[in-house]
Amino acid sequence: MNTANGATLAQLEKQLRRRRIASGDLDGIQDELANIPLHDVIRVVERQPSKRGAVLIRLLPPERASAVFEVLDPVHQAEIVEELASDDVAGLFSSLGAEDRVRMLDNLPPKIAERFLGDLDEDARADTNLILGYEKGSVGREMSPQVAVVEPGELVRDVVEKLRADADDLETIYTIPVVADERTLCGAVSLRDLFIAQPDAQVGDIMREIPSLRDTDGAEDAARRLLSSGLLAFPVVDHGNRVVGIFTHDEAADIVEHADSEDSARQGGSESLKQPYLSTPVLKLVRSRIVWLLVLALSAILTVQVLDIFEGTLAEVTVLSLFIPLLTGTGGNTGNQAATTVTRALALNDVSKGDILKVMWRELRVGATLGAVLGVLGLGIAWAVFGQDIGVVIGATLFCVCTISAMVGGMMPIVAKTVGADPAVFSNPFISTFCDATGLVIYFLIAKSVLGL
């Protein structure tokens, strides 16, 4: 963005902060929206609460409004829709693809969603209902039913003409499934294949095999598979290998981005916002964090209970209390490192649920090596300052805590996936609490043994 556009954008946002919209001075804002690039308009709308965003959408020409609305997050779309009048919504809603409509409908109250569905034309309503019929989280829920299909006997020139005529109504023209009777998938051709082939060649002569997805497959796994393949789209088939839709690179990228954002949020002890931060209401920010804080506060009672049990040991050797933050922090960090690494490996299919013993053995060795290094350092420093016995306690505890924390941290994401839970939920917050409690138990048991308490 150049300096002039940056200044215009900053000026517009400043006017919005001053509630110029509330004062009814809309003409000036409309003029400024018309004079800035589309990507800047998108940025402005993304950063506004739903009421202001709805006003800005209404001030844009229909084509620009549709382009802006289409790229917003589904949750933000739903909030803006609830603020718009019915006439404004009809055009925006119908301009979305079927899969995008479904995502928005999932975030709307049922009565409003039903009304919007009723306003669609027959074809659009049929496509939308088709997607709604699939289970959430499946490929069928994320695919586009607007897919071009061709038959092996068609000529290249005829296919090109057909694509040219229907391009505006199709999700993609870069990957075209080739089907036999009853839309049974038998291959695919790309736009490049058609471009370099002779016009009178048959599609069957230039088609190639292509991976496909079942409509019941998990969307996240399918998305990662597509992105790692280097292809632009996968055909989606039903149980009879009949083509029912197309799953594109853009959809896959959005799914993976959403999944990674959700994992990052949960590893930090909160829920994903599912919309831009500045457009998220304060109460929604509170709700995304409060449950996790309550869970962690309750689980931290374990640590308090451990300290209460060993209160007598602390009273006899008060210097032990100085090392509690070091030991609990080291254990939590070691476990979190292992959990984050394994969670990522699970997402990339580098490890599977059957690899749990391999992961445990691997993390046991990693944790023992880390513990040995930190233990020797802890032994030397504590010995020099507090004496030999305290040095032995600290060194031995660091070794044991790192070893156990790494093994548990690597194991928990796989256990979560095995029982059908989100690996990120079982990761950092819970591992930190677990390692705090077990680390303290190990610490005081070693101290009692070495110091003869």
pLDDT digits (tens, 9 = 90+) for 292-303: 777 777 767 777
Mean pLDDT (whole number) for 194-214: 92
β-partners of residue 177 are 188
CA 144/CA 149 separation, integer angstroms = 13
Segments of 78-208 assigned E as strands: 175-179, 185-190
What pLDDT score does 234 carry?
95
Pairing of strands 243-248, 213-214: unpaired
How many residues in the chain? Answer: 453
Residue with tokens 């393949």: 229
Mean local confidence (pLDDT), 28-32: 74
Q: How many CB atoms lie within 10 A of CB 21?
A: 17
- What's the average model confidence in pLDDT over 296-312? 74
Structure confidence at residue 429 (pLDDT): 65
pLDDT at position 257, please? 85
Task: List residues bridging with 240 in a β-sheet.
Answer: none
CATH code that applies to domain 281-451: 1.10.357.20
- CATH 1.10.357.20 in the chain, residues? 281-451
Which pLDDT belongs to residue 1? Answer: 40
Instruction: For residue range 334-368, list pLDDT tens digits in order.
Output: 988 888 888 888 877 788 888 899 999 999 999 99
The pair of three-digit structure tokens given for residue 78, joined into one six-digit string: 């739903």
Q: Is the pLDDT of residue 66 over 50?
A: yes
Distances in whole angstroms, Cα of residue 56 to Cα of each of 37, 85, 116: 14, 13, 21
The mean pLDDT value for 108-112 works out to 78
Residue 4's pLDDT band (boundaries 50, 70, 90)?
A: very low
The distance from CA 386 to its chain's CA centroid, rounded to whole angstroms, is 48
Query: 256-277: per-residue pLDDT in tens?
Result: 888 887 777 766 666 667 777 7
The Cα–Cα gap between 406 and 334 comes to 6
Whole-angstrom distance, CA of residue 75 vs CA of residue 274: 6
Residue 3: predicted pLDDT: 38
Q: CATH 3.10.580.10: which residues of the chain?
A: 156-250
- 88 falls in which pLDDT band (50, 70, 90)? low
Q: Indicate whether 169 pLDDT > 60.
A: yes
For residue 19, the model assigns a pLDDT of: 44
Numbered ranges of CATH 1.25.60.10 in the chain: 3-133
Amino acid letter, residue 182 = E
Residue 206's nearest CA partner among 191, 228, 218, 185 is 191
In CATH terms, the fold of domain 156-250 is CBS-domain (3.10.580)
In the chain, what percentage of residues exceed pLDDT 70?
Answer: 88
Fold of 3-133: MgtE N-terminal fold (1.25.60)
Instruction: Give the mean pLDDT of the chain.
Output: 83
